[in-house]
């Protein structure tokens, strides 16, 4: 029994040492990434200070061209929209940006599925893993999954969902064009990516997403002007789906700019690459049109 216990002890000791060494190695690769999604995440969490901050899901990252906003308004602008994410990641990133300086204007592109409706919230934690020990971030994890406090004791676990990207972006020496976080989609409409739209009889609001949406608004409106935008969508959007954000904006005295059913965009293949995302031409057109609205609301 004594030999067995010694073997178990040394086994866990070796695992702990490996976790420490490999975890710190990956941490170094992450902090010194040369490009890609990891370099962008580093900039967002540790560096950017901007006048205008663009937030939201992939419909933010692909629809808003910061260069056009900068040239038109004479301000600095950065796009922190992230594919497959929404308010949970946006709130976490706002907490980190707040440590430096809040922007003058926040433009939040609202996407119901990622920002308000019931879903698997755990998937939104992957890009926050490596920031777990930053102020306010661990509370997000614990509200979604209480077991994360134990998993995060492992250094390797903090990076497990990003390992491939971290290595790839560390060895990537190519200098990529600086679009201030903007990721334009080049190409024409692909009708193979069009899905049949189903109208739900009931809209199931996720209480946790709603909580972080309200906290995001509370932090932002103290020092910033905040605008919510529903950017163009090829399908259009029914009133029932839009109603929750309409109510939230009304209750908080926030302006909502709604392009979801604009006749210039709905079912207009020229501006889209799929059913939910504008192509680069559509993004530039939309951003220019939004400038006039921004000026009016400000």
Question: pLDDT, tens digit, for every residue of 243-279?
Answer: 999 999 999 999 999 999 999 999 999 999 999 999 9
β-partners of residue 55 are: 108
pTM: 0.89
pLDDT tens for each residue of 105-129: 999 999 999 999 998 999 999 899 9
Domain locations along the chain: 18-297
Does pLDDT of 171 surpass 70? yes
Candidates 96, 13, 100; CA nearest to 55 is: 96
Q: Is the pLDDT of residue 20 over 80?
A: no
pLDDT at 193: 78
Question: pLDDT higher for 234 or 193?
Answer: 234
The pLDDT value given to residue 159 = 75
* Tens-place pLDDT, residues 128-144: 998 999 999 999 999 99
> Would the pLDDT of 11 be above 80?
no
CATH superfamily ID and name for 18-297: SGNH hydrolase (3.40.50.1110)
CA–CA separation, 294 vs 298, rounded Å?
Answer: 6
* CA torsion through residues 8, 9, 14, 18, sign: positive
Q: State the pLDDT at residue 200.
A: 57
Q: Counting beta carbons within 10 angstroms of the beta carbon of residue 165, is it exposed (0 to 12), middle (13 to 18) or buried (19 or more)?
A: middle
pLDDT at 114: 95
Average pLDDT, integer, range 38-42: 88
């Amino acid at each position: 029994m004594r030999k067995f216990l010694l073997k178990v002890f040394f086994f866990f000791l070796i695992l702990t040492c490996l976790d420490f060494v490999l975890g710190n190695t990956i941490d170094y690769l992450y902090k010194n990434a040369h490009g890609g999604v990891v370099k962008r995440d580093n900039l967002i969490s540790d560096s950017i200070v901007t006048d205008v901050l663009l937030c939201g899901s992939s419909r933010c990252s692909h629809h808003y061209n910061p260069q056009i906003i900068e040239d038109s308004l004479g301000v600095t602008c950065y796009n922190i929209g992230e594919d497959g994410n929404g308010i949970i990641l946006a709130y976490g990133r706002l907490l980190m940006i707040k440590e430096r300086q809040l922007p003058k204007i926040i433009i939040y592109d609202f996407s119901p599925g990622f920002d308000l409706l019931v879903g698997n919230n755990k998937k939104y934690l992957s890009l926050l893993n490596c920031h777990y020990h930053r102020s306010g971030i661990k509370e997000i994890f614990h509200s979604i999954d209480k077991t994360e406090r134990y998993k995060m004791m492992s250094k390797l676990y903090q990076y497990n969902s990003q390992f491939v990207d971290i290595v790839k972006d560390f060895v990537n020496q190519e200098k990529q064009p600086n679009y201030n976080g903007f990721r334009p989609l080049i190409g024409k409409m692909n009708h193979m990516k069009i899905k049949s739209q189903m109208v739900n009889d009931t809209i199931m609001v996720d209480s946790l997403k709603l909580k972080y949406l309200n906290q995001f608004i509370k932090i932002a409106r103290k020092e910033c002007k905040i605008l919510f935008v529903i950017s163009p969508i090829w399908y259009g959007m029914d009133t029932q789906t839009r109603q929750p954000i309409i109510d939230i904006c009304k209750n908080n005295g926030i302006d909502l700019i709604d392009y979801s059913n604009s006749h210039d965009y709905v079912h207009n293949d020229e501006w889209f690459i799929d059913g939910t995302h504008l192509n680069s031409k559509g993004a530039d057109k939309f951003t220019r049109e939004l400038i006039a609205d921004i000026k009016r609301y400000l």
